[in-house]
Amino acid sequence: MPRKLIISDSAGVCFGVEKAVTTAEEVLSQNSNKNVKSFGPLIHNPQVVDILKNKGLSVVDKIDKNEKGTIIIRAHGIPNYQEKNLEDSEVNVIDMTCPIVKKLQFAVKYLSDNNFFVVIVGNKKHPEVIGAKSYAKEGNVMVIKDKNELDTSVLKSKKIGVVAQTTIPKELFWDVVEIFETQNDYDIKAIDTLCDDINNKQIESKEIAKDVDIMFVIGGKNSSNTKEIADICKNVNKNTYQIETFKEIKELNMNLEDKIIGITAGASTPPWLIKQTIDGVLHDK
Ligand code: SF4
C-alpha cells in the first residue's frame, strides 16, 4: 500500500465537458430512434465516448446534405464553414462548443475583421485550433506552437493580433506576446483566450508532482490538455505517467509499496475513472 496519496483538487471534468456530456445523455434518452450524432468525438476521452456510443451516439466528421436527425457539436467547436453546412442541412443542431472556445473563435474573427494578422499560439492539428483558424480571413492567420516557431519575416502586416489555444500553458502565450511588445514597430493586440480551469490544473498538478515519488495523470491519450499537464509534471518529476485507466498502472508493474503517489486528471476525465484509479492504487484491485 502507498504511504500517502495526494489527489489534485482540480482534477477531472471542467464545466464545458460536463455540459456537453450531460446534454448528450439527455438527448439520447429522449431520442428512441437513436439518430443522434456528434460532430467529431464529443470530448477527448475514449472511455466516455465508448459509453455514449453504447447509448446510441455515433461520431461523424462531415455532414451530408440529406442528413437527418440530431447533430451535437463537440466541446472543441468546429470550423465556421462546417457550421454553415449544418445550417444548410435539415438536421437539428445542438451546439455544445464550450463558451471559452467560442471566445477564442470570436477573438479570431474580431481581430481579422479589424485587419489584424492573427497569430494563434497552439497545436495546428488540434480540432479547436483548426476551428478557430477558420474565423480569420484566408492567408491572414498563422499557428505557432511557441515563440521558437515565430518567424516574423512571414507576417503580412505590422498589425498583429495574438490569441491562444485555450489549454496551452500561460507562459507559451505571453512569451509570444512579449516578443511583439518588445519590438516597437508592431501594433499589437493580445486577447487572453486561455482557460482558467486548465491553468489551475497545470499549477496544482506541478506543485503535487514536485513532492511525490510517482505522479499519475489520468486522461485520454488524445486529450491535449491531459498531455500538457503530464508534460508539465514530467518536467519536475520524471516518474510521471499519463494513463487512461488503472489497468495501465497494473501493466507498468510498478512497486507502489510505501511510495508517495500523486494523482491528477485532465478536463475530460470523468470522476468514476479517477475513483477507479484511486481505489486501484490503494487496494491494488
Ligand atoms: S478545458 Fe476549458 S476550454 Fe476546454 S472545454 Fe473545458 S472549460 Fe472549456
Q: Where exactly are the structural domains of the chain?
A: 4-12+196-283, 15-97, 100-190
C-alpha of 222 from chain center: 9
Location of C-alpha cell 485587419: 115
Query: What pLDDT does 33 receive?
Result: 64
Helices 99-113, 15-30: axis angle to 10 degrees equals 110
Whole-prediction pTM: 0.91
Is 171 designated active site? no
198 CA distance to ligand 1 centroid (A)?
A: 7
Length of the chain, please?
285
- How many helices (H) and strands (E) the chain has is answered by 10, 12
Query: Among residues 83, 128, 228, 244, which one is catalytic?
Result: 128
100 lines ligand 1 (CB under 6 A): yes
pLDDT bracket for residue 34 (50, 70, 90): low
Q: Is residue 284 over pLDDT 80?
A: no
Instruction: Determine the 3-state secondary structure of 37 from DSSP.
Output: strand
Q: Which CATH class is domain 15-97?
A: alpha beta
96 lines ligand 1 (CB under 6 A): no
Select from 15, 19, 166 the residue to mutate for testing ligand 1; criterion: most ligand atoms less than 8 Å from CB. 166
16 lines ligand 1 (CB under 6 A): yes
100 CA distance to ligand 1 centroid (A)?
A: 6
Residue nearest to atom 2 of ligand 1 (CA): 195
Query: Residue 148's CB: how many other CB atoms inside 10 A?
Result: 9
Averaged pLDDT score across all residues of the chain: 93
Residues 6+ apart with CB under 8 A from 284: 256
Query: What pLDDT does 185 receive?
Result: 86
pLDDT in tens, 128-151: 999 999 999 999 999 999 999 998
Q: What share of the chain is helix, strand, coil (3-state, %, to 5)?
A: 45, 20, 40
Q: Is residue 285 over pLDDT 60?
A: no
Q: Where are the alpha helices (DSSP H) in the chain?
A: 15-30, 46-54, 80-88, 99-113, 127-133, 170-181, 196-210, 224-236, 246-252, 271-283
| End-to-end Cα distance, the chain | 11
Q: Is residue 216 over pLDDT 80?
A: yes
Question: What would the CATH number be for the domain defined by 100-190?
Answer: 3.40.1010.20
pLDDT in tens, 237-267: 999 999 999 999 999 988 899 999 999 999 9
Q: Give me 138's grid cell.
A: 484566408
Q: Is residue 127 over pLDDT 80?
A: yes
Range 4-12+196-283 has CATH code 1.10.1040.10 = no
Q: Is residue 220 over pLDDT 90?
A: yes
CATH topology agreement for domains 15-97 and 100-190: no
